[in-house]
Amino acid sequence: MKLEATTDKAISFLFGGSRHRTWPPYEIVEDTLEATARGKLEKLERLYHKGQDLSWDGREVLSSLIAKHGPPRLPEDKKASALLLLGILLWGELAAWAISADLAERIEDVEAKMAATSQAHDEARHFYVLRDYVRALGEPIPRLGGVGRTLLLGILETDSLVHKLIGMQLMVEANALAIFKSLGAANLEPVLTDLLPYYERDEARHVGLGVLYLPRLLGKLTRLEAARATAFQIRCVGLLISAGLPMRPHLQNLGIEPRKMAERVVALQDEIFGQMRETARLDGSTWVGGFVNPKGGAGPNLLELVHPPGGIDAATPLHRAFLNTWTAGARIADRALA
């Protein structure tokens, strides 16, 4: 018995742990299983090929934009605010790269695996191009606040594919797309303004993986698992709001209205929710829970709470005090968790 155990340990050391003991997954190319997957997941395969067709050379695009407009320079009165926002995007892209790579490894359906692989390539390009842009500004790479770091680590470290897809594909990606659009519309600097549409096109495509694949996973959840998925989404929402509240004055300094950006996120997530429902209907999925549409239920009330019409100054004294207290707490958490 000791000899067998020693042999097993040696094999594990040389060829990998138990997680990869059944690799390669020969079943994904068996005719019957491939035919079934082809009928159900052909849209996911198209996501992969579309990603390849629309791929762009990050180094060439950035260098050509700098040659066209000259070295990037942010307005002095907006530089600090812009760098904070760029830092959030940059580290978010790095996390998205790692998360997409993990999804590509762990997802079993071959077409969904292809889509995640394509996204991992996109996210890697997004990260290094944004890093090189900030370097071209001659500025240090901004650090990530502790609340945002906690959000991204929670998505990175979860073992649940459902939680990972909800957190990254449907929560973080939707917020990133809204930030890209808002930052592009602010027209801060010509190189950045011309660069961001490349990001927007990719990010808009990335949510497709969650739209097309997540309903299948949600349909297999028990009631308890669905409740846990909902709780994970609510946690992500709370962290996103807490990370965003201290950014409010910086967004306004850049000419970005926080409420309008939040409304854009909610509208996009409502569209995603509708597409997921349609995917489930076409697939005959039994999905009934695990993901909450922020435009339904308490969602609109939460929007009014966080972003009162007319801004904080137009809110009642009690409402204003509540938001100021939440913002102050988020700033403390940002420093403590960084």
Other residues' Cβ atoms within 10 Å of the Cβ of residue 264? 17
159 dihedral zone (left: phi>0; alpha: psi -120 to 50; beta): alpha
Residue ranges in the chain modelled with pLDDT below 70: 1-45, 47-51, 53-54
Domains (range + CATH), the chain: 42-337 (1.10.620.20)
Q: Give the model's pLDDT for residue 192.
A: 96
Integer Cα distance of 137 and 140 in angstroms: 9
Q: Give the model's pLDDT for residue 37.
A: 45
Q: Give the model's pLDDT for residue 36.
A: 46
Q: Give the model's pLDDT for residue 292.
A: 85
Count Cα atoms within 13 angstroms, Cβ side, for 327.
Answer: 16
Q: Give the model's pLDDT for residue 316.
A: 94
Q: Give the model's pLDDT for residue 278.
A: 86
Contact 190, 133 (CB under 8 A): no
